[in-house]
Amino acid sequence: MRTGRVIVSVLFVVAALVAGCSGSSDDVAAPSVHGSWHGDIAVPGQPIAIGVSFAEDGSATIDIPVQGVRETPLKDVRTEPDRVEFNIPDVPGDAGFRGKLDGDRLVGDWVQSGEKAPVTLQRGKIESPPRPQDPKPPYPYRSEDLTYRNGDITIAGTLTEPEGSGPFPAMLLITGSGPQDRNEELTGHRPFQLLADTFTRAGYAVLRTDDRGVGGTSGKLDDATYLDLAADAAAGIAFLRARPEIDPARVGLFGHSEGGYLAPIVAALPDSSVAFAILMAGPSVPGADVLIEQNKVIMASTGAPQDQIDQQVAYVTTWSALLRAGDIEGAKAFTQRHNDSLPVAERAPQQVVDGFNTPYMTSFITYDPKPALQALRVPVLAFFGDKDQQVILAQNEGPMRENLAAGPDSTVHTFPGLNHMMQPTATGKPSEYATIETTIDPAVLTYVTDWLTQRVPPR
């Protein structure tokens, strides 16, 4: 599934200072830390670029482009020239910066979980990492920000349409796990904006939306079940069909990661009648199995010793078994005991612990995609990257082929050398997503567009 914006070990930092403000003619100009600063956390072998902005009201924010962190508020901010400090809210290890002004620089240490890493900042805003595939205006198509409803939920999104009167085929994009915006922005990449641009240029209308509790969409994701989220997507399909410029018989779905779980659920709903389904890195086995295998593969790739991997797998297995058995209170107590047993510096914030046992997480852990996949009777394209460490090929490709075998037109394809985001990679590690300039390999965009135009021609 999608990785969220998880802050790991020594990954943040910052502080600042600026030119002085003048008092009377007899006063010496006093230095100030107000304004924007940028620099690196000196992590050996992989310096981490960060930016911090200090406001005159005493607040401050941090940007970490490689993690997709933008303008995140800081706490416990101090801005005296000889004592510049702040902490990152809700991060294990009491993460924060301790430093001071040194001439025209801010120098100090990033401190987290008892470890330190040097930091040096200079004045100026941090530059975003290069994302050469980001669509840039002017666009050769129409783009409209809009809202519609699913019962009490207001859903906000962007609809892009080719020039002309139509009727156009259309698709709804469904994001991966966690609270995602309409562009599915992660580590500075905006894959759904790129997909919308690609498909709209090819002649398709594309609707992409903010998840519950994100951007302009109301509600709270943690309180939603998979049936709730499928209903949100079904409302998007109905919205598209009601537009006069859309061909109601040619509206389909594109789901990434967890969106590949949800798209077949939507297709099975009464009156959905979707025309096609495209599943990008969509799992084909139950959520608990996906999560356990994720832990094994990712921990092993980071060099974790086998005993630590075994302990983590045992923890996830026991916890997920409680959820699958419907023992929500037992799962809550188990995760709380586990977190309390860790060293203080390694404990997750309480709100993170509480988020382990929500209706949303329970839906993921307990969901088995097999029945919905087997019921699909529309053209389906399911594709994977063989370096994916989140939806692992060896676990999911075979069951996907089996589950789609009865369909009239099902294609399962694997792209070599690509990760969960369909980026070219040597290892597939989630930690690399931000450092790869490519958002989606062009070969993927071409393959998917060709598959689509052969089955649902734009005209």
pLDDT in tens, 376-415: 999 999 999 999 999 999 999 999 999 999 999 999 999 9
Three-state secondary structure along 257-319?
CHHHHHHHHHHHCCCCCCCCEEEECCCCCCHHHHHHHHHHHHHHHCCCCHHHHHHHHHHHHHH
Q: What is the pLDDT of residue 27?
A: 42
State how far the alpha carbon of 109 is from the alpha carbons of 39, 59, 105, in Å.
12, 20, 13
Q: Is the pLDDT of residue 163 over 90?
A: yes
CA distance 238 to 151: 13
Q: Would you list the domain boundaries of the chain?
A: 18-123, 141-285+368-455, 287-364
- Give the SS3 label for residue 379: coil
For the chain, the first-to-last Cα distance in angstroms comes to: 34
pTM of the model: 0.85
pLDDT at 443 over 70: yes
Q: Is the domain covering 18-123 a CATH 1.20.1250 domain?
A: no
Q: Binning pLDDT at 50, 70 and 90, where does residue 30 land?
A: low
Average pLDDT, the chain: 90
Dump strand ranges (E) for 328-406.
Answer: 380-385
Q: Is residue 52 scored above 90 in pLDDT?
A: yes
Among 5, 9, 2, 4, which residue's Cα sits nearest to residue 302? 9
Q: Which range in 45-49, 103-107, 170-174 is most confidently predicted, on average pLDDT?
A: 170-174
The beta strand positions in 55-167, using DSSP E, are 60-64, 69-73, 75-80, 83-87, 96-102, 105-112, 115-123, 141-150, 153-162
Where residue 285 falls among pLDDT bands split at 50, 70, 90? very high
- Write down the pLDDT at residue 354: 85
Q: Which fold has domain 141-285+368-455?
A: Rossmann fold (3.40.50)
pLDDT digits (tens, 9 = 90+) for 332-370: 999 999 999 988 877 888 888 888 899 999 999 999 999
Size (the chain), residues: 459
Instruction: Find, among 167, 310, 341, 150, the residue nearest to 228 by Cα.
Output: 150
